[in-house]
Amino acid sequence: MSAGAGVLFNSLEFALFLPVVLGLYWLLPLRGQNVLLLLASYVFYGAWDARFLSLIFISTLVDFVVGKKLGTVSDDRRRRTWFLASVVCQLGMLAFFKYFGFFVDSAVRLVSWVGLDVHPPLFEVLLPVGISFYTFQTMSYIFDVYRRRIEPTSDFVTFATFVAYFPQLVAGPIERARNLLPQIEDERRRPDGDAVRSGLLLMLVGLFKKVAVADAVAPFVADAFSGDAGRGMLLLGMLAFSLQIYGDFAGYTDIARGASRLFGIELMRNFRQPYLARSITEFWRTWHISLSAWLHDYLYVPLGGNKRGRLATYRNLVLTMLLGGLWHGANWTFVVWGGLHGLLLAGHRLLGGYVPRDKLSPLRWRDAPAILLTFASVTVLWIFFRADSMGAALDYLGGLATRPWGVVDFDAAVIVLFSAAAVLLLDLAQRLTDDDVVILRWPAAVRGASVALLVVAIAVWTGGTAQPFIYFQF
């Protein structure tokens, strides 16, 4: 269970919060700017539930102290002890607040299978918003300091700002210290006019993805996953959720990157048009890039990566994705979703598939079948991600195979197909130019018309209450 709504990117509160913080920010010198960012980040996070602030502060303090110790201690055994103390503390907090109920319920079901009747005491653990994101972010700092890839910071305000930086605090991207910390320390972080324009456009595009795509199709997703819909509406609901999860999460990332750019701080790209991927491996190179890179560097590689033979490589891929699925939530549906992705990745590797981590080859017309097959595979697996339980996921899959077609809601079909066309056109324009703000390159008339269409679409689909982002629950 998580707390109620805080300051949402798509809310009036954020529309007031951001300009106020920006206005104060540019009146201050570097040290004052960082103090302001830290205070603003704590206000932003505390708006969800002030009790959460104690957890993020403890997480920050532990790794600040451990980082300094790792920077001064030379004995490998003592360094390992400090490193393990940090890992146990961070993962311990994450496991308790996110997975306590899951572990207890799973244990009760397990012992019930052997005939034991157990009734553990019932109490509810409140899930802190964004705990998975900031835990992985601060852990990456400790990993890199321990491996001597970066020097630890000696300034607590700088490190605390790195952990709690509000544009990406709640749902990423999961930043690396070697990218974000130097920017927080940089006295020259002054965005020019191009940066401001691109930042504002990114925020507008993100709002469009969230409001005019994700929120627009959300009612049809809810209907498909909660009722006895026919096969036609189940197929439509499956497609709609692919659009919803992408528009919702990529929209959040665009807004986060755009808002951060206004502060002169550049966040990493978290999406590179993943629904244009030509294989499951390429999909995970372009979807939630910060998480897939984290899992690769801090889990897959330590497990042995692809250095210990084929069978070990396949095992490591599946284990990494199983844990990546569990990272998303305390439910067996996420574990199965991650495991199935791991099997697909292993299968692609078995067939000789390889995708460079940092460069995507140009799209060609002959790639269309591979893109459609990858998208179809990802879309089917999203059923496990969206379903409330394994039973519900299997019922949905069974309905796709056995239920009559039924009546397809015409309005729902039009909205979903419109959203799909909008996402496809935007993604193609961005992918072919490798530019998330390609609209700024277009002639003035086309640029103005495009911005106007985005604004009108947002205005049309904006409801009375801002809808939370899906990844806030993780």
The angle subtended at Cα 401 by Cα 229 and Cα 224, nearest 5°, is 25
Q: What is the largest CA-CA distance in the chain?
A: 72
**Annotated active-site positions, please?**
328
Instruction: State how far the Cα of 305 lies from the Cα of 299, in Å rounded to an integer.
Output: 9
Instruction: State how far the Cα of 415 lies from the Cα of 217, in Å rounded to an integer.
Output: 7
Per-residue CA distances from 376 to 130, 252, 322 (Å):
29, 24, 21
The angle subtended at Cα 210 by Cα 329 and Cα 433, nearest 5°, is 105
Instruction: State how far the Cα of 105 lies from the Cα of 95, in Å rounded to an integer.
Output: 14
Instruction: State how far the Cα of 196 lies from the Cα of 261, in Å rounded to an integer.
Output: 7
Identify whether the C-beta of residue 466 lies closer than 8 Å to the C-beta of residue 397.
no
Q: What are the b/e assignments for 428-447, b being 16+ CB within 10 Å?
A: ebbbeeeebbbbeeeeeeee
Consecutive H or E run containing 86: helix 76-113
Q: How far is CA 327 from the centre of its chain?
A: 11
Q: Cβ contacts of residue 351 below 8 Å, gap of 6+?
A: none
